[in-house]
Amino acid sequence: MDRRDLLRGYTRSFLALTLPAFVCFALHPVASPRQTLAQPDGPVDWIRWADGPYNAFPSLHAGFLVVMGGLAWRLAPPMPGLRAGRLVAIGLYVVWVVAVLYATLATGQHLVWDLVAGLALGVIADVWGWRGFNRSATGTPETPA
């Protein structure tokens, strides 16, 4: 990001996502629905080791999907005449989102409600963080960050 308004929007949306989530984790810890495996190994074992058991609600996996998708949308320059390319990019993003959300359910990181809350918090954080941002000005430089 080479513009102050882009860095400001990203920082505000990042903080609007993470601060309420961390407050929730501290004041109302919710355990993830992890299954006890006879012999956990490989990636699932590493995930369970690296990720604490009481930070399931709201899902930051889901929230960051929204915040990072919003950032990518704002950073992508307008491309007149390339509507099909944009539709393909949006389709790939949707497939990626569904895959990540499914993986968090399949590995026992979250329940559906954790994901719903994370997506909602991500939307709120994105809207609040980028308020006043003018996407049409993306191609014109502002004061460097």
The residues that bridge with 60 in the sheet, in sequence order, are none
Residue 26 lies in a domain: yes
Cα–Cα distance, 78 to 138 (Å, whole number): 8
* Residue 84 structural domain: 4-34+44-137
Residue 143 lies in a domain: no
When pLDDT is cut at 50, 70 and 90, the band that residue 66 belongs to is very high
Q: Is the pLDDT of residue 133 over 80?
A: no
When pLDDT is cut at 50, 70 and 90, the band that residue 31 belongs to is confident
Q: Is 55 helix (H, G, I), strand (E, B) or coil?
A: strand
- As for how many domains the chain has, the answer is 1
Enumerate the H helices of 40-141 as residue ranges.
42-50, 60-75, 83-106, 112-129
Q: What are phi and psi of 29, to 5 degrees?
A: -65, 135
Residue 144 lies in a domain: no
Residue 82 lies in a domain: yes
Q: Which residue has the higher pLDDT, 28 or 133?
A: 28
The stretch 22-50 carries a mean pLDDT of 71
